[in-house]
Amino acid sequence: MSRTDRARAGAYGAAACAVAYGSMKLAQALGANALADKDPLPPHLREQLLTRDPLFVASHWVLAGAAVVGVLVALATVRPWGARVPRRLLLAITWTLGIFMITRSIGVVGFGFVGDALVLTGVRPPPVEHAALARTLARWDLLLWSPFFLLWGVCWATAGWRLYRRGPHTSAQERQDALGHHRG
């Protein structure tokens, strides 16, 4: 696979992950469980999520909408119509999302591979009254959420790298022509 194909795959991968995430959040907003019980939240927030607290329902609608925007941003990095979007804006969004999601997956912000491993090995034991739940959620995060956010973050970073490599001197028309040439 050529470098250009990998970069395009990153953009389409970011869009696909946004669709998957947005679909789950939309399902939750409409009342489905859709892995809500596997969300690594502190117990009091988890309870609010599972009892469909209005704030959580509203947040799911917002996140579903943000996922739609994410799909459009990811596609803007590879589709001809995206040449009309300011390159610096796309760079800022793709790199910010890529770094945030990779950081989340690693566990610098609490959850992620590092945080989950610390809970599961007992190095950072959870409160005794929630120990079993914390270990269950850490396993789910370690096997599902952290890899998903790592993949999504790498896709965003790859899409951002493609934009960066195109260079700021490339005109919108040149980018549109180049993107149209690779439609295949």
Q: Which two tokens stand for residue 149?
A: 């956010």
What pLDDT, on the 0 to 100 scale, is given for residue 162?
Answer: 79
pLDDT in tens, 76-94: 999 999 989 999 999 999 9
User: Structural domain boundaries of the chain?
Assistant: 3-181
Q: Is 173 exposed, middle or buried (0-12, 13-18, 19+ CB in 10 A)?
A: exposed
Quote the CA–CA distance of 24 and 26 in Å, as a whole number: 5
- Amino acid 164: pLDDT: 75
Query: Is 50 exceeded by the pLDDT of residue 152?
Result: yes
Residue-wise pLDDT for 5-35, tens only, equals: 777 899 999 999 999 999 999 999 999 988 8
